[in-house]
Structure 1
Amino acid sequence: MIFAGGLVVLAGCQEQVSETLPPPIAMTEEAVGYFCQMNILEHPGPKAQIHLDGLPYPLFFSQVRDGIAYDRMPEQNYKIRVIYVTDMSKSADWNNVGRENWIAATSAHFVVGSNMAGGMGSPELVPFSNPDDAQKFAEQHGGQVVRLADIDDATVLDNAALNMSHPSDEIAHTPDEDDYRGRLEKLRKE
């Protein structure tokens, strides 16, 4: 009888140990994309933010796909605590996605393979809290509705490498941008 009571007490202690995740942070004019180092409010489409263990502020990403790519890359210095993505179910439209309407990536329904390009002009993973909204978006813009765990690595990683290796001729390149792309390409080959 005493032993059984001890188990109840221990079980209660384990519940108190559960980790409290940091809340999402509203986007401000100071929020810059981790990869592009550009103001993310200047780009259309959904965004991502990743909270890392030991860091006070999240990393922001100009595209959801870039945030998921970061998560899938093997070289991480910090443990990822949580990934938040823009909830397009609560967004006004593609160009006005909102600053505070975030959803945990693990709770979102993503449209993969739509004809909508993300903020950096690459294929985008479009997140919704409401699966019906995701399905309606897929019917209008193509693609299929999947959960985060069902998005394969090639969807986020191969497209990133392809777009970096063969930048569109339609994009105007500055000498600084070309130098930056050259350095990234060199790192990719190493």
Structure 2
Amino acid sequence: MRFTVATAILAATLVLAGCQKEEDAMMPSPYALTADAMGRYCGMNVLEHPGPKGQIILQDIPEPIWFSSARDTVAFTMLPEEPKDVAAIYVSDMGAAPSWGEPGAQNWIDATKAFYVIGSKVRGGMGAEEAVPFSSERAARDFAARNGGQVTGFEEIPKDYVLGTGASEYGAGIETESHGEAQTHG
């Protein structure tokens, strides 16, 4: 009897693991960030803005839609007028970024599995509040300890934080991060 139960549990685990691998295999790989990347909402070169970037790949379009910030990437998923046939959503892993000004060309993580710091004193592209993504919850908590804010998951990012304007209840500041430390700009 014990052997049968153990075998059934093992079989169920293998089936679930197989489903996860199949889901990951169906998700297209991220594209490397290049100087040709133009932001969906600002129409500017993505590299002209500091902080984390994003890309969304639609099911029937073989090119990414680029975003100058992780926050804009999340906004795309919340806006009713944007396409919903999303195949993959990627954001910069700021825990692996060389610096705030250089978020990296290939350190992309699945946006739906990232840990975000919202409401920090650090500002993203265009001086806006940012949802700063990390692959590691520990790295996100360390960033929040240094720069304020709270750690949340993709699904828990408040719609008013992403789509609102100006300072919010999640935190306010006018700083950008440079070489791991926040710098005030006036």
**TM-score, normalised on structure 1?**
0.73
Residue 163 (structure 2) pairs with residue 157 (structure 1): yes
Unaligned runs of at least 5 residues, structure 1: 1-10, 164-190
Alpha-carbon shift at residue 17 of structure 1 (Å):
7.6
Could you tell me which of 128, 146, 171 is aligned with 1:122? 128
Q: Aligned runs of 1:35-184 on 2, under 5 Å?
A: 35-159=41-165
| Count of aligned pairs between the two proteins | 149
The amino acid across from 2:110 in the alignment is A
Q: Determine which structure has more spread, i.e. the larger CA radius of gyration.
A: 1
CA contact (8 A) 1:54 1:78 kept: no
Could you tell me which of 18, 31, 35 is aligned with 2:37? 31
Please identify runs of 4+ aligned residues in structure 1 that moved more than 3 A: 14-19
The amino acid across from 2:73 in the alignment is G
Q: CA RMSD in A?
A: 2.0
Identity of aligned residues (%): 42
Alpha-carbon shift at residue 44 of structure 1 (Å):
0.6
Unaligned runs of at least 5 residues, structure 2: 1-14, 168-186
Instruction: Please give the per-residue CA displacement for 1:130-153, whole angstroms capped at 9, x wherever unaligned.
Output: 111111100111001111111111
1-structure distance, mates of 2:82, 2:45: 23
2-structure distance, mates of 1:93, 1:29: 17
Instruction: Please give the per-residue CA displacement for 1:137-186, whole angstroms capped at 9, x wherever unaligned.
Output: 00111001111111111110123xx59xxxxxxxxxxxxxxxxxxxxxxx
Which has the larger helix fraction?
1
